[in-house]
Amino acid sequence: MSEYSFLVVEDSPTMRQLVSFSLKRIRGAKIVEATDGVDALKKLSEQPFHLIVADINMPLMDGLKLLSIVRKEPSYSHIPVIIVTTEGADADREKGLQLGANAYIPKPIQTSALLKAVRELLKIEE
Ordered strands of the 81-85 beta sheet: 29-34, 4-9, 51-55, 81-85, 103-106
Cβ proximity to Mg ion, 16 vs 50, nearer residue: 16
The alpha carbon of 102 is separated from its chain's Cα centroid by a whole number of angstroms, namely: 10
Nearest distance in Å: CB 92, Mg ion: 11
Find the binder of Mg ion among 55, 66, 70, 105 (CB under 5 A).
55
Phi, psi for residue 6 in degrees, rounded to 5: -115, 140
11 binds Mg ion (CB under 5 A): yes
Find the binder of Mg ion among 57, 68, 102, 111 (CB under 5 A).
57
Q: Which residues bind Mg ion (CB under 5 A)?
A: 11, 55, 57-58
